[in-house]
Amino acid sequence: MTIASDSDRPVFPAAIPVAAGVGLRFRHHRPVINERPMIPWFEVHTENYMGGGAIPAYLDAIRRDYPVSLHGVGLSLGGADGIDEDHLRRVRQVVERVEPGLVSDHLSWSAIDGINLAELLPLPLTEETLAVVCRNVDRVQEGLGRRILMENPSSYIRYRHTTIPEPDFLVEVARRTGCGILCDVNNIYVSACNHGWDASAYLAALPPAMIEEIHLAGHSTRILEDGNALRIDDHGSIVCPAVWRLYAEALSRFGPVPTLIEWDTDVPPIEVLMAEAAIAQSLMDETAKGTADVA
Amino acid sequence: MSPDAPSSLRDVQRAMSRALVEGDTGLLDLTEGDMAAEGLSVYRSGFLIGVAVALAQSFPVVRRLVGEAFFDAAAHLYIASDPPRTGNLDDYGGGFPGFLAEFGPAASVPYLAHVARLEWAIAQALHAEDATPLSADDLAALAEADAEHLRLTLIPSVRMVEVAHSADLIWRRVLDEDDEGLAAIDPDQGPVRVLVDRVDGLPVVERLDDAAWRFGAGLSGGATLGDLLEAAGDAGPSLLAGYLVAGRLAGAEGGSPQSPTRKSAG
């Protein structure tokens, strides 16, 4: 490995541009360092860069030339036990090292009674859960000394005693804690299909000023024995046409927003992600042009 | 709990934890919709597969030795018996070597648990915090102040482990895909002591003789330099130099001449 390392500090400005970026995975480290592709920003999973060694060193090298967003999967923001202080301390170490433009995690939970289930698990959306999530987000924002974004999850089950619609829940967390919303358009589509929600109504319930990032990804569909279809958010394919249409609708509501292409199962070469990002960028450009024409 | 009474968040999360770890389906009483059972199974398989993938990343040679199907079956049983405790799966798997040592279907492969123990040390070495090793000048400056009572330590990536059944040689030859060399190994050898570290992001495993092992164990155990050198006798200076030149000595207890800073592995 040859990574020049004469400085600890990232040098590229931190701010995430209003443009289509790409989720960076391990197989992309060397191609990105060697070829410096034209990609406006990257997002990585925070937990993959904890500790020391070669992997965080790759990210140091990439950060010198690109803005980076840190996307967490391990804070368990909906956990009834509260935030794991040791995990928060390690997230903070990564934040201090990378100086990211954005920091985010999910409206979900993963840890209870000292066991970490390493999945983005669904929450019953009740007043009790709202209080827990807000307390946890407050603690994270205090511990990191900065705001975070909270992403709407995809889900495969729903609880009988849920009382608050998911978009209203997100908005209330953002209102009470000051966090922003990361709007995952694919997740809205997947959950809307699985639970019979109206995806357009979901988007309409989100105030544009709260939306600071959009995620796009592919999902798969499993046809069950009774003929029902369960959509599974496996991040293992290109973005499907219905999700592109929903993205265009989101842009028309929110205006252009930093948008990320995610791919986590059978991760393809960076060029495949760049092609997806180019589609998102063209839709964003059309929105910007439309807005300018109207103005 | 009554299906009519709203469940507390903690009840829901405990029921989901039982569903994922133990395969219990009581959570379904709290859900609605036609696809809840299938949905729950998506979460369960996501949990087992995701954690097993993390184990496979920490134990790649064990996986190659036993094959994917055996590894996944063993991993799923281990995950149910000792689920992850932190939000970073790099932390997970410290109990897997011990699990394999007691795992009946692996009893015919006595070296397996030893290879696993070595791989766990390697995984920890690869992810350990970065540190700036002491230079010869740093050491000279520290020694000038009080060599006798100086307490040095090892950088965080250094691990020392005892393995039997030629596990270190098996590990190397499996990684090198050297089937001929692998077949030539005698797995009935007794224990050896090895030092594990990372160099340029790659693992290194070195056998230690008794003197080097005792010296390294003394360093990591917080012994004073005076005691270490006395115990090592004539070999002491060269052992100290060996650790110094390899860049494995870290700041003395009570403060190093320069505060530890982050250093690229490359």
Q: Tell me which chain A residues have a C-beta less than 8 angstroms from the C-beta of B9.
A: 78, 80, 123-124, 126, 128-129, 132
Q: Tell me which chain A residues have a C-beta less than 8 angstroms from the C-beta of B42.
A: 156, 230, 232
Does the pLDDT value for residue B85 go beyond 90? yes
Task: Please write the tens of the pLDDT for every residue from A163-188.
Answer: 999 999 999 999 999 999 999 999 99
Q: Answer yes or no: do B90 and A50 touch at CB < 8 A.
A: yes
Of A2, A53, A109, the CB nearest to B127: A53
Contact A124, B12 (CB under 8 A): yes
Q: What pLDDT, on the 0 to 100 scale, is given for residue B76?
A: 97
The full DSSP string for A22-55 is EE--GGGHHHHHHH----S-EEEEGGGG-SSSHH
Q: What pLDDT, on the 0 to 100 scale, is given for residue B148?
A: 85
Of A75, A87, A117, the CB nearest to B47: A117
Of A57, A118, A195, the CB nearest to B89: A118
Of B10, B35, B129, the CB nearest to A228: B35
With CA atoms as reference, the chain A residue closest to B122 would be A53
Measure CA of the first residue to CA of the last residue in chain A; give whole Å.
51
Residues 6+ apart with CB under 8 A from A113: A81, B14, B17
Tokens found for residue A248? 């265009």
With CA atoms as reference, the chain B residue closest to A72 would be B87
Task: Please write the tens of the pLDDT for every residue from B131-181.
Answer: 999 999 999 998 888 888 899 999 999 999 999 999 999 999 999 999 999
Q: Answer yes or no: do A113 and B157 touch at CB < 8 A.
A: no
Burial group, residue A289, by CB count within 10 angstroms (0-12, 13-18, 19+): exposed
Q: Tell me which chain B residues have a C-beta less than 8 angstroms from the C-beta of A97.
A: 262
Task: Please write the tens of the pLDDT for every residue from B109-131.
Answer: 999 999 999 999 999 999 999 99
Give the per-residue SS3 of chain B.
Answer: CCCCCCCCHHHHHHHHHHHHHHCCCHHHHHEECCCHHHHHHHHHHHHHHHHHHHHHHHCHHHHHHHCHHHHHHHHHHHHHHCCCCCCCHHHCCCCHHHHHHHCHHHCCCCCHHHHHHHHHHHHHHHHCCCCCCCCHHHHHHHHHHHCCCCCCEECCCCEEEEECCCHHHHHHHHHCCCHHHHHCCCCCCCCEEEEEEEECCEEEEEEECHHHHHHHHHHHHCCCHHHHHHHHHHHHHHHHHHHHHCCCEECCCCCCCCCCCCCCCC
Measure CA of the first residue to CA of the last residue in chain B; give whole Å.
56
Q: Tell me which chain B residues have a C-beta less than 8 angstroms from the C-beta of A116.
A: 83-87
Provide the sign of the torsion angle of the four alpha carbons B171, B110, B180, B169, taken in this order: positive
Query: Which run of H or E residues covers position A71?
Result: strand A68-71
With CA atoms as reference, the chain B residue closest to A60 would be B264
Cα distances (angstroms) measured from residue A93 to each of A113, A130, B37, B223: 25, 28, 39, 30
Task: Please write the tens of the pLDDT for every residue from B220-237.
Answer: 998 999 999 999 999 999
Does the pLDDT value for residue B252 go beyond 80? no
Task: Please write the tens of the pLDDT for every residue from A79-134.
Answer: 999 999 999 999 999 999 999 999 999 999 999 999 999 999 999 999 999 999 99
Does the pLDDT value for residue B7 go beyond 90? no
Q: Which amino acid is at A178?
A: G
State the smallest CA–CA distance between residue B37 and chain A in angstroms: 8
Determine how β-strand A229-232 pairs with β-strand A211-216.
unpaired
Residue A75: DSSP 8-state = S
Q: Tell me which chain B residues have a C-beta less than 8 angstroms from the C-beta of A46.
A: none
Tokens found for residue A193? 């299909």
User: What is the rounded CA–CA span in Å between residue B154 and residue A245?
Assistant: 57
Tokens found for residue B59? 């134990």
User: What is the rounded CA–CA span in Å between residue B185 and residue A58?
Assistant: 37
Q: What pLDDT, on the 0 to 100 scale, is given for residue B253?
A: 57
Q: What is the ipTM of this complex?
A: 0.94
What are chain A's domains?
20-294 (3.20.20.150)
With CA atoms as reference, the chain B residue closest to A52 would be B129
Best residue in A30, A117, A127, A169 for a mutation probing chain B (most B CBs within 10 Å): A117
Of B38, B47, B86, the CB nearest to A119: B47
Burial group, residue B180, by CB count within 10 angstroms (0-12, 13-18, 19+): exposed
Band of pLDDT at residue B264, cut at 50, 70 and 90: very low
User: What is the rounded CA–CA span in Å between residue B42 and residue A86?
Assistant: 29
With CA atoms as reference, the chain A residue closest to B88 would be A47
Query: How many CA atoms lie less than 13 Å away from B121 in the CB half-sphere?
Result: 22
Tokens found for residue A66? 């690109």
Picking from B51, B14, B16, B9, the residue whose alpha carbon sits closest to that of residue B36 is: B16
Task: Please write the tens of the pLDDT for every residue from A199-213.
Answer: 999 999 999 999 999
Tokens found for residue A124? 């019953």
CB pairs < 8 Å spanning A and B: 176
Q: What pLDDT, on the 0 to 100 scale, is given for residue A11?
A: 75
Of A115, A156, A161, the CB nearest to B17: A115
Q: Tell me which chain A residues have a C-beta less than 8 angstroms from the C-beta of B155.
A: none
Average pLDDT over residues B44-62: 97
Q: What pLDDT, on the 0 to 100 scale, is given for residue A7?
A: 55
Does the pLDDT value for residue A258 go beyond 60? yes
Taking the domains of chain B in order of start, what are their residue ranges?
1-109, 127-266
Task: Please write the tens of the pLDDT for every residue from A216-237.
Answer: 999 999 999 989 999 999 999 9
